[in-house]
Each structure stands twice: as structure tokens, then as C-alpha cells.
Structure 1
Amino acid sequence: MSSKSNPLRFAVGLAALCAASGALAADLMQVYRDALSYDAQYAAARATAAAGRERLPQALAGLLPSVNATGSTYWNGSHYDYRPGGSSATQSYRNRYNTNSYGASLTQPLFRWQNWVQYDQAKLLVMQAEATFAQAGQELIVRVAQAYFDVLFASENLRAVQAEKTAIGQQLEQAKKNFEVGTATITDTYESQSRFDLARAKEIAAESELEVKRYALRALIGNEPGELNRLKDKAVVQPPQPASMEPWVEAAERDSFLVQAQQAAAEAAGRAVEVSRAGHYPTLDVVANYSANNSPGQFGIGEIDTRTRQLGLQLNIPIFQGGAVNSRTREA
């Protein structure tokens, strides 16, 4: 199962676990899809994952050839004054000319151990980024489900409080009638009125709580959720299978995205040690150079064209770098 498909399947499983009706499951999935495209926290995780994927092509560039081109053109002006010995006459020479040059160089690494290790390290860092992104998807599912069922709970709580207020209101009306006919005291009426006022206060609190929960859901999906589908009247929640904790713990240790991200991070840190240690190793490159230069001859007479071609191997053997390599290795 790919990491990108896990959040969607997890959402379907969550809807089934809640023993919701088909309409509620579809409603929950729609809310989840809206949150995928709107939630700022998930959008930040998506952008972070996209940035993390760029580590692989960056590391691959260290194994591929690099080509550089240069070019220059200069305007030159020179002035010569010449006085022969024993003569007061001065001979002057002035030259104005352009010199043009261009060149290209190619370097193909043959052996740079740190570049190979960095390439392996980049693969692990991409794995970490993907696992972290998948974890963010599952966290979004939990936040959406929490916000969704918080709204349902607040809605049901408001209905219960309103039903209680209606019942207490009926008791208040009955108490007032009993007082009018003389079968009850004014104290009974005041007591019923107090209970009704308390029920009214509870209703206001429940309405405020429902509005807060609806706003929290709206902040996740970016629009008004509307009327949500309710749970079935006699919904039965099936217990998890298996019913013991140990298999779930083992599955989490083996398949958890958070664990996978940390394992990749630990392995990448080990590669970082090897990259630092590779500063002691020699490097070998294929080097090719081509250059061309055009300039006038002496005293501006004629032109001189120069072409240079080079192809060879370049070996670099680090001998002593002030202890920086050892320090970076210890740091890694």
C-alpha cells in the first residue's frame, strides 16, 4: 500500500469504525476532501514534502557532469612614447584594439565517495519527507473527524437541553395554574421559574458551544458545513479486531509513518557521518577544456588566434585540512 493512498483508506476505515450510516460516511468523506484542499497545516506539510523531494535531484547532480562556458571581450588602448638616445625627438605609438576570448570546460566525477553517499542520504531524506507528509494526512483525518463529531455532539447536546427546557416550561405553566386555583404556593411557582431560567441559560451555553464547534469545522474546510448527517438511532460500534493491544502496538512499530520518518532520519544521520569522513578520501575526475583567444599582434599589426584543447584526468588527494574533516565527522 502506498503512503499516498493510506490517508484515504484510513478515512474510509474511520467512517466504518464509527458505525455511521451511508449518508454520514459520504458526508464525512466530503468534509475530508474539502479539508485536503483548504487546511493551512496540511498545505504547509504538502509544501514541505515538495521541497524535501528536491533533495534527490540535487544529490544526483553531484554524480553527473558539469559544463561551464566563459566569454569576454575587452577594448584596449595603449600609448607608447619613445625617445632615442641623444635626441630630443619623441616618437609616439598609439594602439586601440579589441581582445576576445571564450572557452568551455567539462568535469565528470569518476570517484567522489561523498557524492555517492549524499545520493543515498538524499533517498532517505525523501523517504522521511514522504512519511512525514503521510503522517500529516492521517493527522488531518483525525482533526476532521474530531471536529465533525464535535459538531454532532454539540448539536445533540443542544437538542437534549432544548427538550429539557420544554419539559421544565410545561412544569412552570402547570405550577402557575396550580397557584391560580389555590392548589400550590407561590414558592412552587418561583422554584419552577428558577429551573426554567437555568434551563434557558444551559440552552444559551449549548448554542454557543455549537457555534464554536461549527466554526472550528469551518476553519478546516473553508466553507459553511451546513446541516450534517446524524448517526443512526441504533448505531452499534463494532470492537476492533484483534481485541488485544499487542498486535496494534506491533503494527504501529512496523507501519507507523512517524516511526518510518524517524528511522529514515536516523539512517540519514548515519550517512552524514560517512559524508564528513569522506573528506579524507581522494577524488578523481575527467576534465576537458577548450578555449579560444583573438588579439592583435605586436603594436597592433595583424591578429593572433589561439586555440587550446585539453582532455585528461584530475586527481586530488587531501593531505591536511587543519583538522576540519575530523571535527565535522565528530559533529555529524
Structure 2
Amino acid sequence: MLIALAFAGSVASLSVFAQGSVSTVPPSTVSTSNPATQVKQNNLNTEVLDLLSLYREAAFNDPTFNAAKYSYMAGKEKRWQGLSVLAPQVVATGSETKSDVFNARLGTRSNDLMSRAWTVKLTQPLFSWDKWAQFRQGDLNANISEAQFAAAEQDLVIRVTEAYFNVLNAEDSLNLSRNKKALIAEQLEQAKRNFEVGTSTITDTHEAQSRYDLVVAQELAAEADLTIKRGALEQITGKQITQLRSLSNTAKIDAVAKDRKVKLKKGEKPTPVNVQQVVAVQPGQTIQDWVKQAEDVSYSIIASKLTYEVATKETQRAYAGHAPYVDFISQRGYSDSENTLSSDGTMLNTRSYSTQAIIQLTVPLFSGGYNQSVVREKSALANKALADLENTRRSVAQTTRQAYLGFNNGLAQVKAYEAAEISALSALESNKLGYEVGVRINIDVLNAQDTLFTTRRDLAKARYDTILNGLKLKAQAAVLSDEDLQAVNALLK
């Protein structure tokens, strides 16, 4: 299990996180007049969160996962409820009656008469097709809740990781827009200077100004998108998101932020992230192997299979409405009553005990067609559950194929984008040099800058998507484990 939750009150044990350490960046030392204010601001603004810490927060605070947790706790009770119908049923009843006796002939009222009684009755089913099917249903319903909770655990990993990467991707886009704006601003200033000295036309200035206005709009859109993505992650974790650890130093494109001029001789070449090693998908397994495994052990399919079995048991219970059933009944009774003799009005007090042991056979004969209607209804619902099972099987197979292809194609895309980034960086330097010597125009440099930033943005997204598809693939095959989440978290810096 991804989360070893021991639900004892409100205490949960996260075994994976007990061993791993969640690191944070210590507050930076900034001189302020008020040390208390300094500590408070540093804790608020410089706390850097990672994937494991947010996953732990989500395990306690995510409403969707909490709903699944409590649904699981409720579903476990179905097993005991099913067992209870086969256990003895004991009922105790008691009564006390007070009677006023009035003599109409004499016109007088005699003393009040009292009577008391109690009975203890035990009923033990000996043979009941209906109760046996109900017992099996309780066990199956408990298993369904276990499978659904296991699926919710893996779904939490996927949702937290996806929301986390969405924030990183939005931050990358915002940083790219800002860096792109800085480079275009440089190009705009250079175009204005060249126009003033007469080495270029006003067209270069207008083109640079147009690109600058466009990137300003893109920056505003990226800021809004980042706010939305952070809100989505905060919704899952219940924690305010300030700063997140990035996938790697190069994945965040920090080389552009450090070197605004993006010179090839000073810029660092991108370091590839070994996504395949992180996700640890066995290269020898084909897409059909993954699909077959998912169809056999996927928690969604297991839950659907059990739901179909519950529906068949419900149909058996409907048929049991026509079947006889046998109960053993044992009861012990007591009565205490007062009576008046009609001849002389003498009061008599009578006490009695009774004990009975009965083997009772009940044979349903006619119910007005109700049982026949219930049989048809439950049979149709069982067929519906079978159709739902087939739909779930096909959906899981399709999702597994998509994750497999997304992961393997993502590996190729990461390598291609890494090569394209180097090429785009070289092309940008060549165009800038050509513009300085007069063999290239300003639009060539702007286009080369746009190509470089677009490539870097796509490279970062390809890395996020590849890792996420690897996790989704393992989740479909029910092999997503703690180590997978820790391996991804180990890449964050």
C-alpha cells in the first residue's frame, strides 16, 4: 500500500514517510529592525516544499481521499453485518397491564386488576438461502471497499504528482516569459540604437516592439495560470503553496535566468534527467504485457468484478423469496395476573412460566407477484453490472495503452528536445552574431529566441508528462509503490 494508514481515532501511520526525511531550506538571513517579524516572514516566504511533504499533507487534508477513507471504514462493517444474519437473534419483551373492573348491575367499581408478562425469544436460522446470500454479499461488499480504497491511495499519488508538476510547469512558463521579455527588451533597445545611428530601418524597431508587447501579454497569462495551478494543489493538500522544489536545475531553465544574453560559450549544456531510471519501468515488458497485468490486477477491475458478484448474490436472494426456510425458535415466558371470581368477587393471583423449543418451517406460497418482479429486476441489474465490468475492463486497457505509449514516446521526446535545445541555442548565437555583422535582420534573432524558449518549455513539459505517465502506468497495473514516489521526489532540488 502507498499509505499505511492505521485508523485509530484520528491517528494515521505513514510508514514510508517515517523513514524518509522531508528537507526544507533554512530561512535566509535578512536584516530587519524586528527579529520576530524577520522569522515570521522567512517562514512564510522561504519554505520550500517537496513532493513527499505535500503528499503527506494531502493524505490528511484531501477531501476526496478522506471521503474514500471513511467509505472504506464504513464498507468494512458490511462483513460483520452479513455475518450477523446467520447468528442467533435474541429478543426480549415485557408488558404490564392495569384494568379497572366496573360492576354495571351494582353500580360499583372493584379494585384495579394488574397483569405482568415477559418473554425472551431466541431465533437461530437453520436453513435460509436468502440469509446465506446476504452473508456472502456482506463479505463481497467489504472487499469492494478495500479495492476502492487501494485505488484511492494510488489516485492520490497521481493527483498530487500531477498538480505538483502542473505548478512547476506553470512556473517554467512564467520564468520563460520573463526571460523572453528581458531578451526581447535588449533586442528592442539595440534596434532603437541601430535606427538612431542609421544602421537599421524602423521596421526592426516595430518588429521588436510587437514581440515585446506580445510577451508582456503572455507573461500576464502565465501569472494567472500559475495562480490557478497553485490553487489546485492547495485544494488537494490544504496547505498554502509558496515555493516548490524543481525537478532539476536544468529542468527549470535557470541557465537563462542567470545569463540573460544566452551566450553559447558561457551557457551550460542541459543535463538529461534519467526518467526511465526514476520510474523504473522494465524495458522488456511489452504493451500487451502491461495491458494483461492491468486487466488481471487493476483495483478498478477488481472492484467491478466484486460488484458483479454482489449483483448475482442479490439475484439469488430474489429467487430465495420462493424457497422455504427453517428456523429454530426457543423462548422462555412468564406471566403474573390478577382475576376476580364472578360469584363472590374474590381476588385470585395467578403466576405461570412457560418454555418452548420449536423447529419452524416457513413455505412462501403467494406474494401477489412481488417475488417474480424482484427476480426480474435483480437479474437485469446483474446484467448491468456485467456490462459495467466489461466497460471498466476496456477503459483500463485503453488507459494503460495511453500511459505506456505516453511514457515510451515521452522518453524519445525528452531526448529529441534536449538535442533541439542545443541546436536552438547555437542558432540563436549564430543569428545574433549575424545581426551584429549585418548578414541577419532583427526578425531572425527574435524568431531564434522564440524557438529556443519554446523548445525549453516543451522539454520541461515532456519531462513532467513522461514521469507522470510512468506513474499512471504502474497505477493501472497496481504496482505503484512508495519507492516510486520517493524516486521522483529524489529528483527535486
For the criterion TM > 0.5, the same-fold answer is yes
Deviation at 1:35?
Answer: 1.4
CA distance in 2, matches of 1:105, 1:291: 9
Equivalent pairs: percent with the same residue?
A: 37
Residue 220 (structure 2) aligned to one of 200, 204, 207: 204
Give 3-state SS (helix, strand or coil) of 2:334's partner: strand
Change (3 A) 1:255 1:213: same
Which residue number corresponds to residue 331 of structure 2?
289
Give 3-state SS (helix, strand or coil) of 1:63's partner: coil
CA distance in 2, matches of 1:267, 1:196: 64
Alpha carbons 1:28, 1:145 under 8 Å: kept: yes
Residue 277 (structure 1) aligned to one of 309, 319, 324: 319
Aligned partner letter, 2:82: A
CA distance in 1, matches of 2:2, 2:363: 44
Matches within 5 A, 1:316-331: 316-331=362-377
Change (3 A) 1:91 1:136: closer
Q: How many residues align?
A: 308
Q: CA RMSD in A?
A: 2.5
Give 3-state SS (helix, strand or coil) of 1:292's partner: strand
1:249-292 Cα distance to aligned partner (Å, 9 max, x none)? 01101110011011111112121222121222222222111222
CA distance in 2, matches of 1:142, 1:171: 42
Deviation at 1:326?
Answer: 2.9
Which residue number corresponds to residue 95 of structure 1?
111
Alpha carbons 1:4, 1:134 under 8 Å: kept: no
CA distance in 2, matches of 1:135, 1:75: 62
CA distance in 1, matches of 2:135, 2:108: 63
Matches within 5 A, 1:163-178: 163-178=179-194
Alpha carbons 2:322, 2:364 under 8 Å: kept: yes
CA distance in 2, matches of 1:296, 1:122: 49
Note the residue ranges of structure 1 that are not aligned, 5 or more in a row: 7-11, 13-21, 83-89
Which residue number corresponds to residue 248 of structure 1?
290
1:101-147 Cα distance to aligned partner (Å, 9 max, x none)? 22211111111122112111221122122212222222222211111
Which residue number corresponds to residue 71 of structure 1?
94
TM-score (normalizing by structure 2): 0.58
Alpha carbons 1:124, 1:267 under 8 Å: kept: yes
Residue 258 (structure 1) aligned to one of 300, 303, 318: 300
1:41 aligns with 2:64: yes
Change (3 A) 1:206 1:3: closer
1:297-332 Cα distance to aligned partner (Å, 9 max, x none)? 314613111222212221212233333333322222
Which is strand-richer, 1 or 2?
A: 1
Alpha carbons 1:34, 1:221 under 8 Å: kept: yes
Which residue number corresponds to residue 306 of structure 1?
352
Change (3 A) 1:81 1:251: same
1:86-109 Cα distance to aligned partner (Å, 9 max, x none)? xxxx46352323222222111111
Change (3 A) 1:4 1:226: closer
1:138 aligns with 2:154: yes
More RCO (CA 8 Å, sep 6+): 1
Which residue number corresponds to residue 390 of structure 2?
none
Change (3 A) 1:225 1:3: closer
TM-score (normalizing by structure 1): 0.84
1:156 aligns with 2:198: no
CA distance in 2, matches of 1:266, 1:108: 30
Give 3-state SS (helix, strand or coil) of 1:297's partner: strand
Aligned partner letter, 2:360: Q
